[in-house]
Amino acid sequence: MSYKKQHTISEESLVEMLRNRDSRGISILYDNYSKSLFAIIIRIVENKELAEDILQESFVKIWNNFSSYDNTKGRLYTWMLNVARNQALDKLRSKAENNSSKNQSIDTVVHIVDKADSYKSNIDIIGVKEITEKLDPEHKVIIDLLYFKGYTQAEAANKLQIPLGTIKTRARMAIIKLRHYFNER
């Protein structure tokens, strides 16, 4: 997967291009955000080829459903991140994917583990990693499990051995803090 140089364009101008269905907008969007979205997707699915497919599906969905983006509810990147994350989780949870991933050879699994470090999240560019580092450890671990590793709240509760209600409360508090940190920027 190759990435082109990022374009310098305001988010407002890019949103306007996309709302007007200007195909240059999706090209700029891809060049500017594909690397970061891929990093999130690969952390969830842990398979390069599958992550590349999901990334493409995500951009098609973003293009086809751009009319549902509401800039009063959040930033463009946050909306796109949710689209890509949901695409990855849907694919991961699909029955076909579950069956094929259970039947992977040991060589494939070793390859995934060896390559995982080469796809480190590029979220540092937009400051997400820096902002999540500001969270209390009890909130940070939950955000990591829920949003970066694709756990459900119930799965996170089981993994951390704490009540589901506690997970929900901590996740909500973490999101409120993250929203505050993003607004400070």
Q: What is the mean pLDDT of residues 22-31?
A: 88
User: Residue 119 falls within a domain, yes or no?
Assistant: no
15 pLDDT above the threshold of 60: yes
CB distance 151 to 159 below 8 Å: yes
Say which residue the tokens 């310098």 belong to: 8
**Is 6 within a domain?**
yes
Same domain membership, residue 145 and residue 60: no
Cα 156 to the chain's mean position, in Å? 17
pLDDT for the residue numbered 83 = 92
Return the minimum-mean-pLDDT range out of 38-42, 47-51, 173-177: 173-177
Q: What is the pLDDT of residue 124?
A: 46
Do 173 and 102 belong together in one domain?
no
Query: Quick check: is 118 in a domain?
Result: no
Do 54 and 106 lie in one domain? The reply is yes
Query: Can you tell me the mean pLDDT for 40-61?
Result: 90
Residues 85, 34, single domain; the answer is yes
The residue assigned the tokens 């799965």 is 155
**Residues 131-151: b if buried by 16+ CB within 10 A, e if exposed:** bbeebeeebbbbbbbbbbebb
Query: What is the pLDDT confidence band of residue 118, given thresholds at 50, 70 and 90?
Result: very low
Cα distance between residue 86 and residue 60, in whole Å: 14
In terms of domains, do 101 and 173 share one?
A: no
Do residue 132 and residue 167 come from a single domain? yes
Structural domain of 101 = 1-110
As a whole number of angstroms, the distance between CA 50 and CA 61 comes to 16
pLDDT at position 105, please?
54
**Interval 24-43 mean pLDDT:** 89
State pLDDT tens for residues 151-182.
888 888 888 999 989 988 988 888 888 887 76
In the chain, how many domains are there? 2
Nearest by Cα to 100 from 149, 53, 169: 53
Residue 69 to residues 28, 72, 92, Cα–Cα distance (Å): 17, 9, 24
Query: Which of 83, 82, 84, 76 has the alpha carbon at shortest distance from 28?
Result: 76
What band does 130 get if pLDDT is binned at 50, 70 and 90?
confident
If you average pLDDT over residues 64-76, what whole number do you get?
88
The percentage of the chain sitting over the pLDDT mark of 90, rounded to a whole number, equals: 15
CA dist., res. 142 & res. 160, Å (int): 9
Look up residue 89 and give its amino acid: L
- Do 104 and 151 reside in the same domain of the chain? no
* Assigned domain for 121 exists: no
Q: Is 80 in the same domain as 143?
A: no
User: Where residue 32 sits, what CATH number does that domain have?
Assistant: 1.10.1740.10
Does residue 146 form part of some domain?
yes
Do 140 and 91 fall into the same domain? Answer: no
**132 lies in some domain:** yes
Amino acid, res. 149: K
Mean pLDDT of 73-81: 88
CB–CB of 59/30 below 8 Å?
yes
11: pLDDT strictly greater than 60: yes
Name the DSSP class of 140: H
**pLDDT attached to residue 8:** 80
